[in-house]
Amino acid sequence: MAFTWKNAQEFYYWILDNGDPRTDPWPLVYSPLPVIFIFTLYLVIVAAGPHIMQKLEPLRLKAFLVVYNLSMVLLSVFMFYEFLMTSFLANYNYLCQPVDYSQSELGMRMARVCWWFFFSKVIELLDTILFILRKKNEQVTFLHVYHHGTMLFNWWAGVKYVPGGQAFFIGMLNSFVHIFMYLYYGLASLGPKMQSHLWWKRYLTILQLFQFVAIAIHSSYNLFTECLFPDGFNLAVSIYILSLIVLFLNFYYWTYIKKQKKAC
């Protein structure tokens, strides 16, 4: 037991000491403990929230939802622009790009947008809380919780160790998709009259799937080529993204194909 505890301590100090010194001083980056606390609190809310809300009326939150989703659209536009322009100005190789760990203007600019992308994953945990407060518990699926929780840890590790390089491609694509996702949520929050015009939800899911396939190809490509970006991160991304493809395909089948068959 003492040996195990000693190993755990050594591993924890290794985590602390081997991060990017540029991003370590930034909020929530240096230690994994704040992120673990946020994730634990999130799981407690997911587990207890629906039970607490059982005896309460669902909250409408219409004005808040419009402002929240519009804000997320603007944040996604900002991040997509920063990922795209910084990679372009820095002459990124879109097939193989090591991390620029220097204090250069473009190196720091890329690191900063990676931090914003990570922090956006903290903000996005509100999606789940808002579903619970409105008693839309059917939306709080395993896929929803798994995706939100894992992205939080994935991008903490990204900002801690590889804020830029190949990782930018994931943030750029995801920010692009989230522009349309939060635009959809914002319009849907306006009420049933607007919801009847939102015929493109299915295509939003298809866009998400295309995103995952592109990321899988981009990450796995460098496992078979010489690239100075760490293979461990590319391998982790490749495995993780395959799990999302499987889960989203399952969601697509049950939400669109199976329902259509039943309707017929």
Q: What is the DSSP string of the chain?
A: -HHHHHHHHHHHHHHHHTS-TTTTTSTTTS-SHHHHHHHHHHHHHHHHHHHHHTTSPPP--HHHHHHHHHHHHHHHHHHHHHHHHHHHHTT--SS------S--HHHHHHHHHHHHHHHHHHHTTHHHHHHHHTT-GGG--HHHHHHHHHHHHHHHHHHHH-SSTTHHHHHHHHHHHHHHHHHHHHHHTT-HHHHTT-TTHHHHHHHHHHHHHHHHHHHHHTTSS--SS-HHHHHHHHHHHHHHHHHHHHHHIIIIIHHHHHH-
Tokens in use for 49? 């929230």
At 40-51, the pLDDT tens digits run 999 999 999 999
Q: Is the dihedral of CA 76, 162, 232, 84 positive or negative?
A: positive
Amino acid sitting at position 47: A
Every domain of the chain and the residues it spans: 61-263
Tokens in use for 130? 């808002």
pTM: 0.94
**Catalytic center residues:** 147
87 CA to centre of own chain? 20
Tell me the C-alpha to C-alpha distance, in Å, between residue 64 and each of 2, 33, 130, 262.
50, 30, 10, 36
Confidence check: pLDDT of 258 > 90: no
Mean pLDDT of 243-263: 86
Instruction: Give pLDDT, residue 263.
Output: 60
Instruction: Give pLDDT, residue 222.
Output: 86
What confidence category does residue 225 fall into, taking pLDDT thresholds of 50, 70 and 90? confident
* Overall size of the chain counted in residues: 264
What confidence category does residue 257 fall into, taking pLDDT thresholds of 50, 70 and 90? confident
Confidence check: pLDDT of 264 > 60: no
Residues 209 and 207: their CA atoms lie apart, in Å, by 5
| 249-261: b (≥16 Cβ within 10 Å) or e | eebbeeeeeeeee
Instruction: Give pLDDT, residue 190.
Output: 87
Confidence check: pLDDT of 2 > 60: no
At 60-119, the pLDDT tens digits run 899 999 999 999 999 999 999 999 999 999 999 988 999 999 999 999 999 999 999 999
